[in-house]
Amino acid sequence: MNEWDSLPNGKHIDQVLEDVRARPEVWGKAQSAVWTESGNAKLPNPLPDVHATERAAARKALLGNGPGYSLGPDTRAAWAACTALLTWDDCGYMLDMPTDALKVLAEYHPAAVLMLPANVAFSMKEKT
């Protein structure tokens, strides 16, 4: 059992972690394409500090215990999605919505900005 299993987006966090482990190159390409295209200007800062225990557990699941880890494009994209899923209970659907629609939503909802790379990676499942 994971720390985040009781949260509304728990199953989506599991999906993100599983997929980034299976296809890190796809996640890296998605992150680079989306955030190079749109820039980082719209990234919410600071993020609300909620679910600290669950956030720490998800970060550990993604990055491990090592003190010298660094976030590559794949893990940055997955961590952004996990952060959104931990912070906003209403954003799990963003993984599967059309990317163009999510880009529009990103103008209004900070979670959509964080979810864009994950959305692109998920949309590439059939192509890999």
Interior angle at CA 70, CA 67 and CA 74, nearest 5: 135
Q: Given this model, what pLDDT does residue 60 score?
A: 82
Q: Given this model, what pLDDT does residue 37 score?
A: 57
Q: Given this model, what pLDDT does residue 41 score?
A: 46
Cα-Cα-Cα-Cα dihedral of 8, 62, 20, 80, to 10°? 60
Enter the tokens of residue 119: 């959305």
Q: How far apart are CA 64 and CA 46, in angstroms?
A: 24
Q: Given this model, what pLDDT does residue 47 score?
A: 61
- Regions of the chain with pLDDT less than 70: 36-50, 65-70, 126-128
Q: Given this model, what pLDDT does residue 56 score?
A: 79
Please state the pTM of the whole predicted model. 0.82
Q: Given this model, what pLDDT does residue 121 score?
A: 95
